[in-house]
Amino acid sequence: MSLPYGPSVVGVCDDSNEAVIAAVRQLTRGTAWSVINRVPLEFPAHHPQGVVRGSDRRLYLSSAEIIEPTRFYGSPVDGFDRTPGQGIGHLFVTDPDGGALGHVTVGEDAVYHPGGIDFDGESVWVPAAEYRPHSRSIVYRVDPDTLEVREAFRFDDHIGGVVRDRQSGLLHAVTWGSRSLLTFTPDGRLTHRVDNKSHFVDYQTCVSVGGGHMVCTGIAEYPVPGAGVFSLGGIAVVDVDSGRIEHEAPMTELSPAGRVVTYNAVHLETDGSVLRMFAVPDDGASAGDAHLLTLETTLA
């Protein structure tokens, strides 16, 4: 089904932590979302991971191009449960109309899987990791205009997403499956690590942070006997010191391919009257296969 949407007229809203948290705290199980725009991406999106709005209409999208999938070992090898596989890490520049505006690669060797990303007003922060738990990561700073890639630090674990607190300057991150929440200085010194207290949803990306809280989105898949799996999406306000979930709501809106829209790449912003979500949940091997979705829900 195609939607009768033309070029996007979506304007820039407030994506500050205070505004987004206030909006997310209004979400409930009964919250209704409307898809206000759905546009094909004019480039092969591969396996999207994170998306963030820049200082104008531009959006930055991280993605993993999988060349050789990982394969599970019969028993652990050197502490790993699977092979590293092969791939290429990408950072694309697009806009609400899905245009192909720029591209750069990140990662090296087996470190090819980018995660959730953030823009702090100066740099786009992009983590890249091996595509397996308990592995290793490289966190990059990318110039939003020139796309110059600079390594910020390395870490001996899988970092699945980062977000920067614009007030404190600290970086907050999630590990594989978001089982641990990490806090770093910008040069990579780990200052805090805490277990995630929620086990309903694995957070794939964190979309804002500040004042001791961050907003995260993600998904978990639960087996249904004889019927495949049930996918549960979610949005949560997380206390970064304790790992405690202060507010959460499920997400059931589906993508064109049938995935929950919080499957991976999500960015949130608000104008006070609506909460807006940009999402790229589906994979795309060719230009036009994956879609950028814009959803909104009305706030009280």
Query: Would you kindly state where each structural domain of the chain is located, as residue ranges?
Result: 17-70+79-298
Q: What is residue 160's predicted lDDT score, i.e. its pLDDT?
A: 96
The domain made up of 17-70+79-298 is a member of CATH 2.120.10: yes
- What does pTM read for this prediction? 0.94
Rounded to whole angstroms, how far apart are CA atoms 236 and 206? 9
User: What is the model's pLDDT at position 145?
Assistant: 96
Which residue shows structure tokens 């205070």?
18
Blockwise average pLDDT, block size 10, the chain, 300 residues? 41 80 96 96 98 93 98 96 98 97 98 97 97 97 98 97 94 94 97 92 90 94 89 94 94 92 96 96 97 96
Q: What is the pLDDT of residue 198?
A: 86
Q: What is the pLDDT at residue 3?
A: 36
Q: Which of 295, 278, 270 is nearest to 25 (CA)?
A: 270
pLDDT for position 55: 84
SS3 229: strand
DSSP secondary structure letter of residue 176:
G
